[in-house]
Amino acid sequence: MAPTPRPLQDRLMNHIDYDAVTGCWNTGLSKDTAGYGLIRDENKQLQKTHRVSYRLFKGEIPEGILVCHHCDNRACINPDHLFLGSTQDNMDDMVEKKRSNWKASITKEEMQAMRASGMTYQAIADQAGVKYYAVYAACNPEFNREANRRQRAKCQQNNQPLRS
């Protein structure tokens, strides 16, 4: 007699690495090129682990809806870090996070003024305690728009359920 296949939830949960700092449940299963974990579901279809986790712990994912990460960690399958959203919600969430970063330390205008006074991006980032990228994006709104557009296209592409 063939052994009974292990339930999906067991297979999913047996491969996680708990990060005590972030609370993330990082999957140790193999990943796709975008960094999302992959697992075969009850019907032997290859699925993304964060989507399977959402479905098992929180409920069905409506057709065409994305499962997004609050923690921005694609390997994470902690249901508390996952939320359903349209592509627009995902963008709003990112913008919200970025905005709270600005608030904590420095405004976009202040960064632009520092840049105009001749400081390097890195010097501004060090002084304000923000990421180099944040300073660069604040001082180059055109670049920022382009990056957002690319990010949006990527999210759309990566969050489609896999078909085999």
Site for Zn ion, rule CB under 5 A: 24, 71, 73, 76, 78, 81
Tell me how far, at minimum, the Cβ of 70 lies from Zn ion, in Å. Answer: 7
Tell me how far, at minimum, the Cβ of 32 lies from Zn ion, in Å. Answer: 17
Residues 36 and 48 sit within 8 Å (Cβ to Cβ): yes
Name which of 83 and 102 has its Cβ closer to Zn ion. 83
Q: Hey, what are 118's tokens?
A: 């001749």
Tell me how far, at minimum, the Cβ of 73 lies from Zn ion, in Å. Answer: 5
Name which of 16 and 76 has its Cβ closer to Zn ion. 76
In whole angstroms, how far apart are CA 2 and each of 5, 6, 35? 9, 12, 33
Name which of 16 and 139 has its Cβ closer to Zn ion. 16
CA angle at 107 for the pair 105 and 113, rounded to the nearest 5°:
120
Please tell me whether residue 37 adopts helix, strand or coil conformation.
strand
